[in-house]
Amino acid sequence: MFNLTNQNAVVTGAGSGIGKSVALLFGKQGAHVFVLDVNEKQASDTVSEIIEAGGKATAQVADVSNQQKVVEIFQQIGRVDVLVNSAGISHIGKADTTTAADFDRLFNVNVKGLYNCLYAAIPLMKKNKGGVILNMSSIAAIVGIPDRFAYSMTKGAVAAMTLSVAKDYLADNIRCNCISPARVHTAFVDGFLAKNYPGKEAEMFEKLSKTQPIGRMAKPDEIAHLILYLCSPEASFITGCDYPIDGGFVKLNN
C-alpha cells in the first residue's frame, strides 16, 4: 500500500522539519524525490539520507518566492506526479506589532511561494494527465492563535488556494488537499524556545506541549504519514479537503 514507485515527487522545504520527513518517507515508498530547499547543505543532506536508504533523490536549491527560478527548476524536472508544498516560515506578532517588512516576508514565502510552485507544476501535471498536490496549512487558519497574525493570514490563504485548485482542475485529474497541523516538535520549535525563553526552554516546551489535549506535540513523521496517504493512489477519491492533525486541539480544547 501507499506505493509511489516510478513517481516524481517534489517536496519544498525538504531540508528540515516536516518537509524532510516527507521526503525521506516518499523515498522509502519508491518515489524519485526532488528535494527543494533554500539551504543547499540541508537539501544535500536529505538527498544523501534518501540515497543511503536505497532511494532516489535530487537536490535543488530553491527560493520559492522567486517565480522565475521555481519555473526553471520544474521545467528541468519535466514530469511532476506529486507536489508537497511544505516550505514556510513563521512570525510572532499581532496586527499592530507586525511590521510591513515582516508581513511581506511571510506573504512572499508562505503565499506567493506556494502559488509559484502551483504555477510551475500544474501545467506539467495537465500534460501528464493528472497529479496530486498537498499544501501545508495550519490550525491557525481554523482557530485564533495568540500572536500569530501574519502567519495565520498566510495559512488561511493556503486553505483557500487549496479549494480553488481542487475545483479548477477536477477535469484534469489533479487532486489537491491540505493538512492543518497543530504544534510539531521540529528544530524550529527548539530554536524559538532558546531565543525567546533562555533558561526556561524545558518549562515552556512542556507548556506548549500541553496545549494539545493529547498532551504532547506531534512528531514530524506522524505528519508525513498522513501526507503519504493523501498523495497515494489509496486516496484517489479525496480532493478539496483540509485535514486537521492536531492532537485534538481544534475540537477538544474547551
* Catalytically annotated residue among 119, 151, 229, 243: 151
Quote the CA–CA distance of 150 and 44 in Å, as a whole number.
Answer: 31
169 is catalytic: no
**Is the separation of the CB atoms in 39 and 15 below 8 Å?**
yes
Q: Please enumerate in sequence order all residues whose Cβ is within 8 A of that of 65, keeping only pairs 6 or more positions apart, or say none.
A: 108, 109, 112, 113, 116
31, 165, 174, 188 from 48: Cα distances, Å: 15, 33, 30, 22
Nearest one of 52, 54, 59 to 33, comparing CA atoms: 59
Catalytically active residues, by annotation = 151
